[in-house]
Amino acid sequence: MGSANINDQAASLQANLELILQENQKLATQLDFIQLTAIIPHLQQAERVFVIGAGRTGLALKAAAMRLMHFGFTVFVAGETTTPAIKKGDLLIAASGSGTTSTIVKAAEKAVAAGAKVIAFSTTSDSPLASLATLVLLIPAAQKQDHGKTISEQYAGSLFEQALFLLTDALFQTMWAADGTPAEELWKRHANLE
């Protein structure tokens, strides 16, 4: 591999990182932060919190679950072998860009049937998932099969997944700032079997 090729790849890598950051910055200007803060009282009132998402969306919610656990919430990731049954008083945070992912919709149906509340992160408020949700938090990103590049130049649902990760981190940061618990206290909940 010649140095010209390495330099071209390095320049391309830098340009693509800048594209990703710019798209997330633009998306941030389009968010309804009043709507997004509506999740906080639902979290505070829930007995337990469950999260579900497929693929990279699910990974973003697993990261959110970890931060909520650090904050002191009892949190479970749907599909894990130690996840208990959801029940009345619990909250399911479900994410699907399209709001049609069958496993996510089925989980939301089961949660509602059990008496739990559902909060959905999605790109649309017109979907089977949205119809089940107490609250739909809109992320104005491209859906995974939106290949026209009108909303995002990134592949598939990358912008949605990135925004979900960043928003849930911002949500944690907001609740933590309001609570004031020292980082040293939160750290006591961090996994120690690593």
DSSP state string for 49-118: EEEEE-HHHHHHHHHHHHHHHHHT--EEETTSTT-----TT-EEEEE-SSS--HHHHHHHHHHHHTT-EE
Instruction: Give the separation between CA 106 and CA 101, rounded to whole angstroms.
Output: 9
What type of residue is 157? G
Instruction: Give the separation between CA 129 and CA 138, rounded to whole angstroms.
Output: 12
Cα–Cα–Cα angle for 30, 51, 116, nearest 5°? 100
Is 185 considered catalytic here? Answer: no
Instruction: Give the separation between CA 176 and CA 43, rounded to whole angstroms.
Output: 13
Among candidate residues 23, 47, 80, 161, the one labeled active-site is 161
**Catalytic amino acids?**
161
